[in-house]
Chain A
Amino acid sequence: MTGPPAPAAGPAEPDDPTVVAVERDASGRHLARELSPGAFLAPRPLLPCADRLRIALVGTRAGLLAGDDLRLHVSVGPGARLELVEPSGLVAYDHRGGRSAWRARVDIAAGGRLDWDGKPFVVAHGARVDRTMEVTLAPGARMLWRDTLVLGRSGERGGSVRARTRAVYDGRELLVEDLDLTDPDLRELPGILGPNRIIGSVTALGARPPGPPHPYRTDLAGPGAQVRLLDTEAPAMEAELTALHEHWRTENENENE
């Protein structure tokens, strides 16, 4: 299934981005054009699959500390299909007054598909992290994104995070969100988070998944839909979102057959 991953040029520098670039050749075979480990995450191909590449993003360094700048570039070529798996979540630790950043850039070409099964992003007490997700979809491209933000480890009020998402489909903005959870006093106001500290979402971009309505599903103005759940504890919500993610993923598959 895959061509050989591009050899990494020596150990990753602190600011090196992790790069995952996959393509599908004329005969329909998937190949990884580039798999470069960054300073924090190394892409590792998983068991081959006939119709897609599956790649795990494996953590190579302890979470996020002050001054860290995690960057991730993902690109999916025309008609190619990529599944990104995270074996474990990520913790932003106490930054002791500093800041850190997590920045992902995703480009999906026409007919390409990305399924990103993100694990919890935990913002511990004292962390101050800026997280940005920039997604560019060509016409007919799709992305399914599972995402969980957790404010604080158990018993903590949680650090500061600003999670921004900007998805552009066919040159037009499809979804722009700015979850500004930097100030605990503001984010705990009624209507923002109230007492909740876990924000879990499944977001479909590029297509509206079919299927029975979920009570918290919303269809975007353009092609896309989202279900977001809030909770004070993780387990119940995790199970529900996992089921929903699986449902949307397989429905998308059936539709293509």
Chain B
Amino acid sequence: MALLAPYLLADGRLPVGAHTYSAGLEPAVAAGLTRAEIPALLRARLHTGVVTEAAAAVLALRAALRDPVDYAPVQEALAARTPTAPLREASAALGRGVHRLARRLAPGHPAVTALTRLHPRPLRPVTLGALGAVLGVGEEALAHGVVYDELQTIASAALKLLPGDPLDSVAWIIAAEADAARTVAEALAVRTPTELPARTPPLTEQWALEHDRRERRLFLA
């Protein structure tokens, strides 16, 4: 299982509901973001929210491998660093899909049963840590998975929101490699929930609030 697991984790076709998420691209486009600015948006995400998400997933994976499993400290730290309510709600909605998959694969696994005890509902990085434990994925592969998924989510949402040459999206992701590597390294270096990075992207938060009030939208956030 561990051989295929990292690929599964990073695969957009994984049935966890990720197609409902644009990682902030749809709200950004509504605020005027152009196709030419997508590489800059990727860079912004890698320096802010993604560091927190990847680090939280790694902390959750470490918690999942302890006995007893207690996700509360990482979940609380993550919630305190996600002040924008619609972003917390989107994260919880996406987390539900990951939780469901983890439960299907290993219903009795302590990493999975501990998710059920969390209130409010587990945020996505916490469930990814649990799924990582179930699949036997290491923390480095998990952090890479989270970072790669973010880039790929924005790049593929761009096909719908700012149509253009689909081959561009691959080039964008490859160009983001250096920033992505830095994000992964930073995420892996976090040792405790108190150290969880909290780099605030004020415009992204504002756009998420605007998006939440819109009636016509393709993506959750």
Contact = CB atoms under 8 A, between A and B. Distances in A.
B48 A192 contact: yes
Contact of A218 (B43, B80, B198, B209): B209
Contacts of B48: 191-192
A175 B83 contact: yes
A220 interface: yes
Main secondary structure of the interface of B (DSSP, over half): helix
Contacts, number: 97
Identify which of A172, A179, A180, A190 gathers the most chain B CB atoms within 10 Å of its CB: A190
A220 B83 contact: yes
B28 interface: yes
Interface stretch (B13-21, B94-102, B144-152, B200-208): B200-208
Contacts of B45: 191
A228 B210 CA distance: 13
Contact of B202 (A174, A175, A220, A230): A230
Given A190-B40, A191-B207, 8 more contacts: A173-B194, A175-B83, A177-B81, A178-B200, A192-B202, A196-B202, A220-B80, A230-B202
25 contacts: A173-B77, A175-B83, A176-B80, A176-B196, A177-B83, A178-B199, A189-B40, A190-B41, A191-B204, A192-B44, A192-B47, A192-B202, A192-B203, A192-B204, A196-B202, A215-B209, A215-B213, A218-B85, A218-B86, A218-B209, A221-B79, A221-B120, A222-B79, A228-B202, A228-B206
Interface of A: 164, 172-180, 186, 189-194, 196, 199, 215-222, 226, 228, 230
Interface of B: 24, 28, 33, 37, 40-41, 43-45, 47-48, 76-77, 79-86, 88, 120, 194, 196-207, 209-210, 213
